Chain A
Amino acid sequence: MSADPPPITWAGCLIGMRLTLPVLPGITAFSMAFGALAMQKGLSLGDTMLMSGLVFAGAAQMVAMEIWHEPLTLPVVVAICGVCGAINLRLVLMGAALRPWFGSSSARTVYPSLGLMTDANWVIALRYHAEGGNDRGIFLGSGLLLWVVWTAATVPAHLFGALLRDPRAIALDLVMPIFFVAMLVPMWKGLRQAVPWLVSGLVATATSQLLPGYWFILTGAIAGSFAGALMPPADPAARIIGPAGHGAEPCPGDEPGNLGDEPGRRGDQPGNPGDRPGNPGDQPGKGA
């Protein structure tokens, strides 16, 4: 790719960490709930930290604990990994959504940061990008802070037992959805988004009525993405995400103020001449 790759700076990492602060109390408490559950299931402190550090996916770890039981026979291990994969399938779509922004960067810097991708830093980074920012440090810094807090917070819970007997009582199960809503509100740029959002919402709702588990995230998101793909190319001011790797973006590394500012410049993308209808590649996430 020829466009200048988006920068990744320390200043961006620090901004990413700062933007993560609103979810940290919730993440900490959720991690402690996981630590307490893991202790009840007989995991050692080392194993618990290892799981949090290596898997780093809250909902998947919680559900894995539900089906975790000794002895860990092959079917149990397969079931645990399968459930973990099913809940985390959305990560495939989330990674795909980062391609237009990260695509011109070197794989050497992108893939390690993808290892830290989770709901919170993904949505934080995309909101920042939607508002004109281009520094990939936001994604990395936020991911690093979340990883440290998530892994560390399992320790006190494991050592001191069930500090949080019922995470639902303080609505911890709703922290991520609520944070998602808070991030979604500023992403609204106009009616053009209404179609994919509506399609996504309808399909997800229908799926959640028909299928158990978390399949609704996949079906809804894929349907919404298709709706977006099928829409005619229209005025670029209504895009959620700016065009990838446009070197014209000023480096936002030392400019924390662009969240909450004007939606800002991303109008430099003329219509897409290379638009081929019926391209078989129209299926982001079909690899799921």
Chain B
Amino acid sequence: MEDGYTPLVAIAGMALVTLLLRTGGYLIMGRIPLTGRVRRGLEALPGAIIIATILPVALRGGIVAIVGLSVAAVAMAVIRKDLVAVLLGVGAAALLRSYGF
């Protein structure tokens, strides 16, 4: 390695940034009074985060992602077993990929 930093510097930087983000949101919300309105916002947050994560993935990922996510959702609604739902969803997506989708 010529004149670069050691990997430890980059790793420490990534770790520090991530730690600040992990604790920051919780910390900030401790400084804000939990009024009814704030509480309703926070209560809507988990579902909103999940939807915001998966919907663009489904649309960007095309038919493979849509089928995988749909299979998992239906499996979960019908049998209510996480493991089965995940395995079926990932399995369906992998199967489609193996056929070149």
Query: A residues engaging B (CB < 8 A)?
Result: 19, 21-23, 26, 43-44, 47, 50-51, 54-57, 60-61, 64, 68, 70-74, 76-77, 80-81, 84-85, 88-100, 102-103, 110-111, 114-115, 117, 119, 123, 126, 130, 168-187, 193, 196-197, 199-201, 203-205, 207-208, 216-231, 233, 239-241, 243-244, 260, 271-277, 279, 281-282, 284-285, 287-288
Asked if B37 and A220 make an inter-chain contact with CB atoms under 8 angstroms apart, the answer reads: no
Asked if A123 and B46 make an inter-chain contact with CB atoms under 8 angstroms apart, the answer reads: yes
Given contacts A171-B93, A174-B57, contact A228 B40 (CB under 8 A): yes
CA distance A260 to B77 in the complex (A): 11
What secondary structure prevails in chain B residues at the interface with A? helix
* B21, CB-defined interface residue at 8 Å: yes
From 7 to 50 in chain B, residues with beta carbon under 8 angstroms from any chain A beta carbon are 7-15, 17-19, 21-30, 32-50
How far apart are A102's CB and chain B's nearest CB, in angstroms?
7
17 A-B pairs whose Cβ atoms sit less than 8 Å apart in the complex: A54-B12, A64-B14, A70-B1, A97-B45, A99-B26, A123-B50, A171-B64, A178-B93, A181-B76, A185-B77, A186-B80, A218-B52, A221-B52, A224-B51, A228-B48, A229-B41, A243-B39
Asked if A72 and B7 make an inter-chain contact with CB atoms under 8 angstroms apart, the answer reads: yes
Given contacts A182-B72, A204-B51, A276-B37, contact A51 B25 (CB under 8 A): no
A201 in complex: contacting residue of B1, B35, B55, B73, CB < 8 Å = B55
CA distance A26 to B29 in the complex (A): 32
* Ranked 8 nearest A-B pairs via Cβ: A228-B44, A272-B36, A224-B48, A71-B4, A220-B52, A229-B41, A95-B25, A208-B56
How far apart are A32's CB and chain B's nearest CB, in angstroms?
15
CA distance A204 to B49 in the complex (A): 10
Number of A-B contacts defined by CB within 8 Å: 356
Further 13 A-B residue pairs, CB within 8 A, beyond A77-B9, A228-B43: A54-B12, A55-B15, A80-B14, A88-B18, A110-B26, A178-B72, A181-B72, A219-B52, A221-B48, A228-B41, A279-B37, A281-B32, A287-B25
CA distance A241 to B41 in the complex (A): 11
CA distance A230 to B38 in the complex (A): 9
What secondary structure prevails in chain A residues at the interface with B? helix
A174 in complex: contacting residue of B14, B25, B89, CB < 8 Å = B89
Given contacts A97-B49, A203-B52, A284-B42, contact A174 B37 (CB under 8 A): no
Asked if B94 and A171 make an inter-chain contact with CB atoms under 8 angstroms apart, the answer reads: yes
Asked if A95 and B4 make an inter-chain contact with CB atoms under 8 angstroms apart, the answer reads: no
> Chain B residues with Cβ under 8 A from A176's Cβ?
53
Given contacts A81-B10, A100-B39, A233-B36, contact A111 B23 (CB under 8 A): yes
> Chain B residues with Cβ under 8 A from A91's Cβ?
18, 21-22, 24-25
Asked if B26 and A68 make an inter-chain contact with CB atoms under 8 angstroms apart, the answer reads: no
Asked if A193 and B44 make an inter-chain contact with CB atoms under 8 angstroms apart, the answer reads: yes
How far apart are A161's CB and chain B's nearest CB, in angstroms?
19
Asked if B19 and A115 make an inter-chain contact with CB atoms under 8 angstroms apart, the answer reads: yes
> Chain B residues with Cβ under 8 A from A204's Cβ?
51-53, 55-56
> Chain B residues with Cβ under 8 A from A186's Cβ?
76, 80
How far apart are A85's CB and chain B's nearest CB, in angstroms?
4
Closest to A229 in B: B41
Asked if A287 and B28 make an inter-chain contact with CB atoms under 8 angstroms apart, the answer reads: yes
> Chain B residues with Cβ under 8 A from A57's Cβ?
18
> Chain B residues with Cβ under 8 A from A80's Cβ?
10, 13-14
